[in-house]
Structure 1
């Protein structure tokens, strides 16, 4: 195989490239503030306590940074159980896409102002809701934020 062969190395293996990003995303979603985010040893301890499964802090760091890519089924199960996702999240683009959309919503709803905006919109007519969505979309453009896909 040559280096341009899509099957060679991690660059040619999309599943391997995505695993570490998905794991990092789950850690960030659970602990959004990097300043208070526990280290990998603490996360591993929390995982053991929550699931009864075993994964070391070092190995968790290696998985999250892409240094190691040979996760066992037991470790995959521990990760999935701890983060509340199906094991397929790490393996399937379709499943990951659905769960990532739910995670984005959950993360957005952590902000009290976003929650209050959503609660105040409840009960408004469809026409008023469409007008509010148009205003929010324009505000996102004005602040040079990426568009949000409708769910």
Structure 2
């Protein structure tokens, strides 16, 4: 039974397995270098001092088990650098996932280079660059990127105020 099949009366466990699996994939993006659950459990023990078995970690990540203890929840949160609420709250998970997307994008030296070079440019120039990047994403058939406020990035007119807030 996957988290999608979780009973409606159990909102705390819905999505736990997907969130855990997503964190593993984020921390180890190269599938060929991703540790198995036994090795990952060993790394978790070494980093946090908390005990969790590889088998139990696999069961949690695949949705086979859902009875995580508060101690294990804290250990997983500490290891992955997320608040414990990440595993229990869709709202917290969405906010953290947005931050993780930024961190993942910044792994690419070219993305970091563009961001660093953009620092200090005027609002009008930044808006013009956003228009260009959005058009490039369309040409490459990439999905739109959401702004930090959670809304889809739009093509602003150069010179328009781009505070990211809505009325």
TM-score, reference length from structure 2:
0.82
Which runs of structure 1 show a deviation greater than 2 angstroms over 4 or more consecutive aligned residues?
11-17
Structure 2 SS opposite 1:100? helix
Matched, 1:109 2:106: yes
Equivalent residue pairs, number: 143
Structure 2 SS opposite 1:74? helix
More divergent stretch after superposition (43-52 vs 11-20):
11-20
- How far apart in 2 are the matches of 1:77 and 1:15? 15
Task: From 60, 66, 82, give the equivalent of 2:63.
Answer: 66
Please give the residue correspondences for 1:78-97 in structure 2 after superposition, counting only pairs within 5 Å. 78-97=75-94
Structure 2 contact 13–88 (Cα < 8 Å) conserved? no
RMSD of the TM alignment (CA)? 1.2
1:14 CA drift (Å):
4.7
1:16 CA drift (Å):
2.7
**Structure 1: tracts of 5 or more residues without a match:** 1-8
Task: From 118, 121, 124, give the equivalent of 1:124.
Answer: 121
1:10-45 Cα shifts (integer Å, max 9, x gaps): 153454331011101111111111010111111100
Matched, 1:18 2:15: yes
**Structure 2: tracts of 5 or more residues without a match:** 149-167
Please give the residue correspondences for 1:18-57 in structure 2 after superposition, counting only pairs within 5 Å. 18-57=15-54
As a proportion of its length, which structure holds more helix? 1
